Amino acid sequence: MIIAGNWKMNMDRASAQKLAEDLSGQAASMNNNAQMIVFPPAILIDTVVASRLNENLQIGGQDCHAQPSGAHTGDISASMLVDAGCGWVLAGHSERRTDHHESNQDVAAKASAAIDAGLSVIICVGETLEERMAGKANDIVAEQIEGSLPADLPHDRFALAYEPVWAIGTGQVASPEDVDAMHNHIRDVLVARHPNYAKVDILYGGSVKPDNAAALLALSNVGGALVGGASLKADDFIAIAQST
């Protein structure tokens, strides 16, 4: 079970330090099997790495470039994330797909670069409200999975995150029935691609909070959560992790 916190473009150095200390301190006393990962802004990764109290809190980057180096102003390579102390990276978050027009092919290239550099990767997929209302949600998500996963991606080096775009930062949450149906569909798509993908964690990422986490995480094919706003508060993030 993976509980991942995407800090997005939030926090300053002092608040990142305190949050990392609080999270890792509380994570040390947890008695469940939740694997906790936080994804701070790139400029704060070193602060978070230095501030965590133990290895129970893992660190990831929010994005990486598909190339190992070169003339790519403002970008960060996967090897740079490794050097900074990261073990994970996000690829294909809906905000990257929308704001930066990243295609499935772009996401697959970034995931490949991450694996080559020694990172594990959480690959994000999900439909918009318009696509869901048009009855295309399953097809869109299947297409994103097929296009965003590199060939021969090791099952133990990645997780998939389903994030319905209409439920991110809006306060809306897909019903447990909606989440269950989509996660079952995603599992079918993954297993059709490779039998070992039956072991891949599928995270839910749509406005997960302490008051809805237990119901969502209890679903059979939900293997964790990709948490946004609630990951910026230690008590909320720990409460979600303790719901597993």
At 244, is the pLDDT very low, low, confident or very high (cuts 50, 70, 90)? confident
- Looking at residue 169, what is its pLDDT? 64
- Looking at residue 170, what is its pLDDT? 65
- Looking at residue 214, what is its pLDDT? 94
Is residue 85 helix, strand or coil?
coil
Average pLDDT over residues 185-192: 98
What is the amino acid identity at position 46? Answer: D
Of the residues 95, 102, 127, 163, only one is catalytic, namely 163
Distance CA 228, CA 68 (A): 28
- Looking at residue 173, what is its pLDDT? 67
Is residue 69 helix, strand or coil?
coil
Contacts 24+ apart (CB under 8 A), 27-33: 27/54, 27/56, 27/57, 27/238, 27/241, 28/53, 28/54, 28/56, 30/56, 30/238, 30/241, 30/242, 32/1, 32/241, 32/242, 32/244, 33/1, 33/244
Of the residues 93, 102, 127, 183, only one is catalytic, namely 93
At 19, is the pLDDT very low, low, confident or very high (cuts 50, 70, 90)? very high
21 is catalytic: no
Give per-residue pLDDT as tens, 91-123: 999 999 999 999 999 999 999 999 999 999 999
- Looking at residue 55, what is its pLDDT? 85
Distance CA 63, CA 110 (A): 8
Give per-residue pLDDT as tens, 129-182: 889 889 999 999 999 999 999 998 999 999 999 999 987 766 666 889 999 999
Q: Which residues 6+ apart lie within 8 Å of 175 measured at CB?
A: none
Topology adopted by domain 2-241: TIM Barrel (3.20.20)
93 is catalytic: yes
